[in-house]
Structure 1
Amino acid sequence: MEPRPARLSRTYMTDLVLPPDTNQFGTIFGGKVMAYIDKIAAISAMRHARQRVVTASSDSLDFLAPIRVGQAIHLEAFVTYAHKTSMEVFVKVLAENLLTGETVITARSYLTFVAIDEEGRPVEVPPVLPETEEEKAHYESAPRRREQRLARRQAASQGEFPMP
């Protein structure tokens, strides 16, 4: 298969954080952010594979700063690496003060998706072609994350819960 540039999977999403989206502190619920992350990552993976996809894992989700009611939540995702039938997707979440234009990175996450056919069987995906420095950095570090992911998965299947 011909490699596909990572830029073709880039996906952006923006929404306004309203009171029903927030907790008693006026900041967005973590679960709401997680749902946005899973959705945008799935879209990015589908753009890369041009296939149906399912979430296989969420390797990490680091909350770095709160997003407050009245701010915009802005997400950016792209496929960083592909291996046979799976794809790693990086998601960056920002908060934007719509009155000042100030933005702050509020979360980062890596997820893995598997491309599937109509019967739910895994199908091959094209390799990723990184072009920018950011894409190259994620691409080059992806095999290490994949090894860690596979080791965690193996340990979990044996009833173990290893520390990272």
Structure 2
Amino acid sequence: MKSKPCRESFVVKTSHVLPPDTNNFGTLFGGKLMAHIDDVAAIAAVRHARNPVVTASTDSVDFLAPVNLGHSICLEAFVTWTRQTSMEVFVKAVTEDLLSGERKVCTTAFLTFVAVDDDGRLVEVPEVYPETEMEKKLHANAPIRADQRKERRKQSKEFAEEFGTAFPWDRA
């Protein structure tokens, strides 16, 4: 399987922030932004794998700046690192006041996807290689993020086992 550069998975999506997308403060719903993030990240992962993908994890999403009604939201995503069947995808979201031209990064996030076949079985993905300085930095630090995800997943499984499926009032 031939390795691919990060740029081959690059995705850009720009949307206008309209009233149905906003909360009572006139800013974009956090969940709506997270849906945009998952969407562009999945497209980047499919472009890299050329197979269907499923989201395995989303690292923390910190909202750094509000996305106001009437502004735009532009998301960029690309695959930064791969393992045998998984891909780490970096997403940057920038909000723009379309009248003034002022732009702010409103969030960054890392998501992990796994490639699957039509029956949902894991399939191998090509290796990815960085070319730009930014890609090289993200690629070099990816193993640290992967270890953090592995530990977080272990803790999530422990919580799931401890709390189970019963409602709180049924646990007595």
5+ residue gaps, structure 1, are none
Aligned to 1:90: 90
Identity between Structure 1 and Structure 2 (%): 56
Aligned residues: 161
5+ residue gaps, structure 2, are 161-172
147-156 vs 135-144, which moves further: 147-156
Which TM-score applies when normalising by structure 1? Answer: 0.95
Aligned to 1:46: 46
**Per-residue deviation, residues 9-67 of structure 1 (Å, max 9, x unmatched):** 01000000011111111100000000000000000000001000000000121110000
Asked if the contact 1:27/1:69 (under 8 Å) is kept, the reply is yes
20-29 vs 97-106, which moves further: 97-106
Provide the C-alpha distance between the structure 2 equivalents of 1:142 and 1:60, rounded to a whole number of angstroms: 15
Letter in 2 for 1:9: S
Aligned to 1:14: 14
Asked if the contact 1:82/1:128 (under 8 Å) is kept, the reply is yes
Asked if the contact 1:67/1:73 (under 8 Å) is kept, the reply is yes
Provide the C-alpha distance between the structure 2 equivalents of 1:83 and 1:2, rounded to a whole number of angstroms: 14
1:121 aligns with 2:118: no
Provide the C-alpha distance between the structure 2 equivalents of 1:69 and 1:58, rounded to a whole number of angstroms: 26
Provide the C-alpha distance between the structure 1 equivalents of 2:29 and 2:157, rounded to a whole number of angstroms: 30
Provide the C-alpha distance between the structure 1 equivalents of 2:140 and 2:60, rounded to a whole number of angstroms: 18
Aligned to 2:165: none
Task: Report 1:4-153 matches (<5 A).
Answer: 4-153=4-153
Moved over 3 A (4+): none
SS across alignment from 1:44: helix
Letter in 2 for 1:148: Q
Q: Which has the higher strand share?
A: 1
Larger radius of gyration: 2
SS across alignment from 1:159: helix
Provide the C-alpha distance between the structure 1 equivalents of 2:127 and 2:118, rounded to a whole number of angstroms: 22
Asked if the contact 1:60/1:111 (under 8 Å) is kept, the reply is no
Provide the aligned C-alpha RMSD in A.
1.3
